[in-house]
Amino acid sequence: MGEHDPEQQHEEHLKGGSSPSGLGAYILHRAKPHLPPWICVGGLGVAGGGANLMWSGSAGAAVGLTLASVALTGATWWAGKTTSQQRRLHSAITVAAGSAWLTGAALAGPLAGVLPDAFAMGGPVLALSWNIRMLMRRNPDATGQSADKGLLEKVGLAKAKIGRTEVEANRVTAALTLPAGEATNDDIARTLPRIASALDLPTTAVRYLPDPDSARRGDLVIVPRDMLADTVRWEENGPSHPGGSITDPLVIGVYDDGSPLLLWLPGDKNEGRNATHVLIAGMTGSGKGDGALNLMTEILSRTDAVMWLSDPKGFQDFRPLLPAIDWAVEGGPDTEVMVEAVKAVIPARTAWLGAHSYRQWEAAAAQKQTDPKHSCRKDGTACGCDGLPFHVAWFEEAGVSLGLLGDDAFNSIANLARSAGMALVVSLQRPSHDQISTTTRDALGARLCFGVPNATAAGFMLPDSVVDAGAAPERWSNRRPGYCYLITPGVPEERYSSPGRTRWFTDSALSLMETVAHWFARNGASVGHVTEKAAATVAGTAYTNRRSTAPADTDPDPESDGDDDEMTGTLIDPEDADIDPDRDLPESAPGDDTPMFGNPGGRKPSPEEARELFARALDEFEDAGQMVVGPKDFMDWCDRNSLSRPWVSARLKDAAMEGRLEPTSKTGRWRIVPALANA
C-alpha cells in the first residue's frame, strides 16, 4: 500500500462507516502512540510482584535495589543534559518514582501498606503526564523557534529572544530582543553577514531594522529569493498612471520582495508627507541613466507638471522626450541662465500660492481657481485665475554644470523651491563635497542610489542608519545595472534598506517614449503665465525663443566634411597661454588710452563711446540668447572691434549699477537683465 497523508486518513476515518470494527480500528490507531507509558506502568506492577517472590525480606536485596534506584535516577539525569530542562527533570522524576515503588514492592510486597494506592494513583498520573507531553511536542511554533534559536547560536546571539514572526510571500520578519546590558542593535548590524552566510543568502537579503525607542529591540528581515534578478523592460508596461496627477505615486521599479518602488515629489498634508527634491547618483554602468528615464517618463505622463532640463551630454538619453520638455538646454552658459531663471521663478510662484491661500502646492493649484477658498480677490469671490502646474527643474550630469557654476550654485534653489511647488532633480556620478556643497546635498531629501565603487561613496548618498541596517550598494558596483536603494518621504523607513531595481530601457522603447512625449505636448500642462513671465524677465530671448532654438531631433549635417575635427594645435596665442579667462581684467593703467602700434583704433574710448559700445555688446549677447557673461566672453568682441580690453571689468560694474547686469552665484559672472524688463 502507498503512503497517505495522515490528515487525509483522519478525514477518511471521520467520514467513513461507523461499524464497531471500523471504530475500534480507528481508536486503536489513534491510541498506539500513547500506549508506551501505560505499558511501562503495567510492566512495573508485574516486575514488582515477581521481585517480591525472589527478594522478600532479604536485607542484601534491599541494599542492592536501593543503590540501583539511585544509580538509575542519576544516569537518567546525566543522559538528559543534551535535552531541554523540562524533559530532563520529567524523566528523572519518572525513573525515581518507578524505581522507589519497585524497591518497596520487592521487599514488602506489591499489596503491602500504601504501595497499591501509590501504584493505582501514581502510575496513571505518570503515564498521562507523558501522553500530555507527547501532544504538546507537535507545536509548530515551538519547532520554528527552536530552529531560529539554533541559527542565532551559530552567529553568537544565543541569548537573543525571538518574538512575533510575520511570514509573507517572499519576506520573513522576526522581532528580536537582545539580552539587557549585554548587546545592542549595533551588534546585530555587525552579525548580518554571518546570518546571511548561515542561511546561504546574499548579504543584501538580510536586514535589521532597529526599534527607534530601544537600544536592544528591532526586526530581523530576511528575503529568501531575489526577485530583482529578472530584468523588467520599461516598454512592457510603460508609465504607471498616464493622464494622472503628479500627486499620484511615481512607480520607478520594484523592491526585492516584488512590491512597487514608489516616489512622490509634492507634499501631502493629509498624509504627513513633505515635498522633496531628488538626488540621483551611481557609477558608470550602474544603470543611473535608465533610472533617470523611469522617473522622467513618469513625470511627463502626468497632466499637471512641467519640466526644465539641463543636459551637458546633448540629450543622449532624453532626446525622444524633448517635445514634452518646456525648456531644454545643453549646459554651459545656457545652464547658467536656467539656474538664474529658476531663482527668479521661485518668488513669483511663492507669491501666487500665498495670494491664493495655498500653504504648499497641491493638485488643486494646477486647475482654474474656481474655489472661493483659493481666491486672490479681497471680496472672497472666486477669482478664476489660471492654475500653477508643478514644476520640475532637472540638472543631468550636474557635476559638469557645478564645475562651471560652483558647488553651491543650487543652494538657494534647494532651500526655497519646495515652498514654490517645485522639485529639483540633480543627477551626477559621485555627490562628494568637491562636486556638490553639503548644504545642497542635505536639502535633497530623496536619494536614489545605484551601485557605487566603495563604501565611502555610499556614505555620500545613504544615511548611517540605512547602512547599519544592511544597505550596501558597493557590493553591486556596476555588475547589477538598475539595482538601487531609495530614501524618500512617504516610504516607511524600514523600506530604506531594501534594495530595488528600476526598469530597463531598450531600443524597442524609443517609439513608446516618443508617444509619451507627443501625448504630453498635446495634453500636458503649459508652464503658465506666472512662471513664463518671471523666466522671461531674467532669461529674455533665451527663454521666449526656446521653441525656435530647441535642439534638433536630427543628427548633424551628414555632408559635413569634418574639417573641424581634423584641426590640430591650439587656438590660443602663446602670449595669452597663462591668462585665466575667468579672472577679472586688470584696472586701467597709464598708456591704455594711447593708440596701439599699427592699429590706431586700439584706444581707450571716451566714457560716452564706452557706454554705447558696451550697451551694443550686451544687446548682441542678448539677441544671441547668451544671458550670462564674464570678462572672457568679451575677448573676441574687443578684438573684433579693435578695442583694448582692460576697461571691460569697469564697464561690467558700471552696467551692474545701472541695472543692466546682475551678479550671479559665481564670482566674475554677470546675468544680463533683458532690455524689456529693465525698461
CA 325: distance to chain centroid? 26
Provide mean pLDDT across the span 441-459.
93
Q: Which residue from 282, 243, 235, 261 is spatially nearest to 514, judged by alpha carbons?
A: 235
Provide mean pLDDT across the span 298-304.
96
In the predicted model, is pLDDT for residue 346 greater than 80? yes
Question: What pLDDT, on the 0 to 100 scale, is given for residue 499?
Answer: 92
Q: Which fold has domain 140-222?
A: Threonyl-tRNA Synthetase; Chain A, domain 2 (3.30.980)
Return the CATH class of domain 240-544.
Answer: alpha beta
In the predicted model, is pLDDT for residue 380 greater than 90? no
* Bridge partner residues of 483 (DSSP): 501
Question: What pLDDT, on the 0 to 100 scale, is given for residue 678?
Answer: 45
CATH 3.30.980.40-classified regions of the chain: 140-222
CA atoms of 44 and 51, how far apart (whole Å): 10
Reduce the DSSP state of residue 375 to 3 states and report it.
Answer: coil
Indicate the pLDDT class of residue 642, thresholds 50, 70 and 90: low
pLDDT (tens digit, 9 = 90+) per residue, 57-92?
A: 787 877 888 888 888 888 888 887 777 777 888 888
pTM over 0.75, yes/no: no
CA atoms of 415 and 410, how far apart (whole Å): 9
Of 185 and 656, more confident: 185
Question: What pLDDT, on the 0 to 100 scale, is given for residue 585?
Answer: 47
Question: What pLDDT, on the 0 to 100 scale, is given for residue 483?
Answer: 94
In the predicted model, is pLDDT for residue 564 greater than 50? no
Q: In what side-by-side order are the strands of the sheet with 670-672?
A: 628-629, 670-672, 661-663
CATH 1.10.10-classified regions of the chain: 584-678
In the predicted model, is pLDDT for residue 306 greater than 80? yes
Provide mean pLDDT across the span 304-310.
96
CA 150: distance to chain centroid? 33
Of 23 and 670, more confident: 670
In the predicted model, is pLDDT for residue 94 greater than 90? no
Q: Which residue from 236, 222, 217 is spatially nearest to 503, judged by alpha carbons?
A: 236
Of 152 and 10, more confident: 152
Q: Which three cell numbers stand for residue 587?
A: 584696472
Most confident of 224-233, 461-470, 546-555: 461-470
Question: What pLDDT, on the 0 to 100 scale, is given for residue 225?
Answer: 76
In the predicted model, is pLDDT for residue 266 greater than 60? yes
CATH 3.40.50.300-classified regions of the chain: 240-544
How would you class 38 by CB atoms within 10 Å of its CB: exposed for 0-12, middle for 13-18, buried for 19 or more? middle
Number of residues in the chain: 679
In the predicted model, is pLDDT for residue 468 greater than 80? yes
In the predicted model, is pLDDT for residue 187 greater than 50? yes
Element (H, E) at 21: helix 20-31
According to DSSP, residue 629 is labeled E
Provide mean pLDDT across the span 334-348.
91
Question: What pLDDT, on the 0 to 100 scale, is given for residue 366?
Answer: 95
Cβ-contact 661, 615 below 8 angstroms: no
Query: At which residue does the C-alpha cell 547599519 appear?
Result: 468
Q: Which of 17-26, 208-217, 329-338, 634-643 has the weakest average pLDDT? A: 17-26
In the predicted model, is pLDDT for residue 660 greater than 50? yes
CA atoms of 104 and 418, how far apart (whole Å): 90
Contacts of 343 (CB under 8 A, 6+ apart): 412, 413, 538
Contacts of 569 (CB under 8 A, 6+ apart): none
How is domain 584-678 classified at the architecture level of CATH?
Orthogonal Bundle (1.10)
Provide mean pLDDT across the span 212-222.
87
Q: What region, left, alpha or beta, does residue 608 occupy, with left being phi > 0 and alpha being psi -120 to 50 degrees?
A: alpha
In the predicted model, is pLDDT for residue 619 greater than 60? yes
Q: Which of 136-145, 232-241, 543-552 has the weakest average pLDDT? A: 136-145
